[in-house]
Each structure stands twice: as structure tokens, then as C-alpha cells.
Amino acid sequence: MNHAYKEPLIVQEVAPRDGLQIEKQWVETADKIALIDGLSACGFTRIEAGSFVSPKAIPALRDGDAVFGGIRREAGVIYVALVPNVKGAERALAARADELNLVMSASQTHNRANMRMSCESSLAGFGDVVRLASAKVSLNATVATAFGCPFEGRIDEDRVVSIVRTYREMGITGITLADTTGMANPRQVARLVARVLEDVPAADLTLHFHNTRGLGLANVLAAYDAGARRFDAALGGLGGCPFAPGASGNICTEDLVNMCDEMGIPTGIDLQKLIALSRTLPALVGHEVSGQVAKAGRNCDLHPVPEYVLAL
Ligand code: COA
Ligand code: ZN
């Protein structure tokens, strides 16, 4: 038995942000609030509850102010807001977000597609956000396309490490390495996580995987084995970046929690409640979702033995 598997794995739920940002069908503000309140009751300590970006870029989340205003704040839960610039940070502070998540891509091309600016301009804006917000809330910054870019392909690991150092030198404590379009593999993940953990304590590092090519949970285990302890995941496996061709869902929260439960890795999350909440998603978004455990049930959800078997 591997005793390392006793160390808690922290799941940050991102369905209200990464999950809903790509959905075509408008989700009413009240339904977003109900989803976040439902998630708050499942045992998460961190929920990315929305973004404060240009409403033209992401119309699906244009009601972030009202969503943050309407949610029930559960004690011990950090409600995170994704922001791209100072305007977003001002809106997020006004809406009482507990933490701001700044995003820039390692790839210049994806940053231009997603944020309509160079990496240098993004970083300059982050400096302004740090000056505005660092005394008020905690800050996290994401390196998007850290494991590969749909436009540029391979991403130099030295570049990712150097962006992480720049973020930390700017005074941004939390770091997320994001595999925006599911290009990472477990060996690459183990290597990059080990390198980044030389500079960043595990408590400050989050891994953000998409399951675009089916490697999501394998990448989680590789990162966990390399010492990472915090992971983003989305209920039902919703999610994706609308400005990355071929993007699809995040790793699925209930699939991740089920894996942890079966392996004995503590998460503090109530899987049964999570599955019940996930089963409400198809009605909310208007289509089936990719998560598997909500369809299959838990291992312990046993079926009645068929009559013909009892009769044998
Ligand atoms: N919140 C609300 N509105 C914002 C905003 C914010 N954070 N940032 C900019 N805007 C508005 C401006 O006020 C302006 O409005 P107007 O046209 O009514 O005058 C408009 O958006 C354009 O502003 P500008 O600063 O020129 O932005 P841009 O068009 O160069 O786009 C971003 C830059 C960063 C604002 C935009 O690309 C963006 O929001 N990207 C985020 C994409 C995203 O969320 N991706 C998925 C998550 S990683
Ligand atoms: Zn994502």
C-alpha cells in the first residue's frame, strides 16, 4: 500500500465558470445560483463561481455580478472569480469574490485568441491587478496551454517554469497549470509538476486538466504522485475554452471523487450528493454530459439480484 494516498486531495469545483462558459443554452442567473449553492453543500472548500470578463467574449457568464450577489456563502468555502484585466478585478471585488484567478497562456497565439493581447500586455495588466487587489483578496494566476497549445503545439517547459516564477515575483501566491485542450500526458505532468514544486509549495499549486483525449484522471494521478494536491474539476465533466479549437470538458468532479474514494484518498466531498447534483445538469444545459459515474452509480450502489439468478 502506498501511504502517500492518505494525503488529502483538494478539489476546486469549476463547473460554474469553466463549465458554463462554453454552453450555448443560456442558464438563468437563479439556476446558476442554485447550482453553486448545491455545490457549496457537497463539501468543497473552493468553488470557481464565475468570471468577470468581457460580456462580448463570454456572453454565458455576463451575469457574474448578480450570481456572486445571490449565492449563499458557506463558511469555509472560498469563492473564486476568474478575471482577465483590471476592469474584471474591480467588478470581482465589488461582487465580494474571495480570490481572483488571473489567466494568461504560455502560448502567445492562444493568449491572443483568448485575451486579444500579447503575453506581455497580460502581465502588465496583472501588475495593475496586484496593486489594486493584493491587500484585499488572495490571488491566483493560471498558465493556460501549459502542456500544449492547439495552435502552436509543444510548449517549452522552461517557459512555463519562468512564467510561474514571474507570477510569484509579482506577488501572486496561487499558481495553476492548465491543460486547456487536454494535450498533457502523465510522464510530462510528473516532470513539470516536480519542477514547479521546486519553486511553489504544494499548498499553492493547482492542476487544471481537461479530458479532451481521455487522459484526465491519469494525469491527476501522475501529478498527485509527483506531490501536487490541488485539482480543478467540473461537475458532469462540463467545460472548455471557446477560444481554443477542439476544446472539451474538464475532468469530471464526480469521476475524480469516485476514484479518490475507491483509492482511499480523502477529499472531504460527499459523492452521493455530488452525483444527485450532476444528474440535474442535462436539464440545465440541454444535453447529455460526459461524466461517467453519475450514469453508472458508485461501486457500492448495488443492484437487486435478478429472479433467475436467485432461482438457480
Ligand atoms: N468586464 C466587463 N467588460 C469588460 C471587461 C471586463 N473584465 N474587460 C473589458 N470589457 C469591455 C470594455 O469595457 C469594452 O466595452 P465597450 O465595447 O462597451 O466599450 C469591451 O469590453 C472591449 O474592451 P477592451 O479592453 O478593448 O477588450 P478587448 O476587446 O481587447 O478584449 C478581454 C480583451 C480580455 C477583455 C477579452 O478578450 C476577454 O474578456 N477575454 C476573456 C475570455 C475568457 O474568459 N476565456 C475563457 C476563460 S480563460
Ligand atoms: Zn479549463
**Best mutation site among 20, 21, 52, 53 for ligand 1 pocket (most ligand atoms within 8 Å of CB):** 53
Identify the pLDDT of residue 4.
Answer: 75
Q: How far is CA 146 from CA 176, 188, 210, 266, in A?
A: 9, 11, 12, 27
For residue range 104-131, list pLDDT tens digits in order: 999 999 999 999 999 999 999 999 999 9
For residue range 188-218, list pLDDT tens digits in order: 999 999 999 999 999 999 999 999 999 999 9
- pLDDT at residue 2 above 70? no
Q: What average pLDDT does this structure show over 75-87?
A: 98
Q: Which atom of ligand 1 is nearest to the CA of 144?
A: 48
Identify the pLDDT of residue 3.
Answer: 61
CA distance 71 to 35: 9
- pLDDT at residue 1 above 80? no
Spatial contact of 278 and 235, defined as CB atoms under 8 Å apart? yes
Q: Which atom of ligand 1 is nearest to the CA of 17?
A: 47
CA of 211 to the centre of ligand 1 (A): 27
DSSP state of 153: B
Length of the chain, in residues: 312
Q: What average pLDDT does this structure show over 242-266?
A: 97
CA of 210 to the centre of ligand 2 (A): 6
Query: Where do runs of H (alpha helix) occur along 83-156?
Result: 86-94, 108-115, 119-133
CA of 238 to the centre of ligand 2 (A): 10
Please say whether the structural domain 3-310 has been given the CATH code 3.40.50.300.
no
CA distance 123 to 102: 10
